[in-house]
C-alpha cells in the first residue's frame, strides 16, 4: 500500500511522520489483523484493517488527496495485496484551535500475503 501511495508524490509512512513533515502527507496504521488457520496450518495471508490518514493544509486539500487515495486503493488488488476495500471514511482534524491540521481518515479491509 505504501508503494502505491508513494506514487501520489507526497510523504507517506507507516506510523507517524512527526512534526516538521510537510503537508499534505499520508500516514498508514495497521489497526487490526489476523492470520486464518486451516487444518494444514497457517493460510499464508493476513486479513486486517488499515487506517489511512490524509493530512492537508486545508480541509479542501485533505479532501482532494483523500479522493486520490480512495481512487487508488478502493478495489485494488495486485502484488502482495489480494484485495483492499474501503470500509469507512471520516473527516476531522488533529490538534485544536490554530494548531489544528485537517484530516481525512479512511479505513480499508485488506487481505494480503505474508
Does the predicted model carry a pTM greater than 0.85?
yes
pLDDT at res. 83: 96
pLDDT at res. 114: 87
pLDDT averaged per 10 residues, the chain (length 114): 95 85 94 94 95 96 98 95 97 83 97 92
Q: What's the fold here for domain 2-113?
A: STM4215-like (3.30.2000)
pLDDT at res. 106: 98
> How distant is the alpha carbon of residue 35 from its chain centre?
20
Tell me the domain boundaries of the chain: 2-113
From start to end of 22-98, where are the E strands? 25-34, 37-38, 41-42, 45-55, 81-94
Amino acid at each position: 500500500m505504501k508503494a502505491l501511495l508513494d506514487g501520489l508524490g507526497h510523504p507517506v509512512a507507516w506510523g507517524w511522520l512527526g512534526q516538521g513533515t510537510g503537508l499534505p502527507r499520508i500516514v498508514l496504521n495497521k489497526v487490526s489483523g489476523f492470520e486464518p488457520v486451516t487444518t494444514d496450518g497457517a493460510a499464508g495471508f493476513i486479513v486486517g484493517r488499515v487506517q489511512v490518514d490524509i493530512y492537508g493544509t486545508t480541509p479542501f486539500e485533505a479532501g482532494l488527496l483523500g479522493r486520490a487515495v480512495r481512487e487508488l486503493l478502493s478495489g485494488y488488488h495486485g502484488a502482495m495485496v489480494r484485495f483492499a476495500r474501503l470500509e469507512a471514511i471520516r473527516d476531522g482534524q488533529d490538534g485544536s484551535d490554530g494548531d489544528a491540521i485537517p484530516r481525512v481518515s479512511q479505513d480499508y479491509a485488506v487481505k494480503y500475503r505474508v
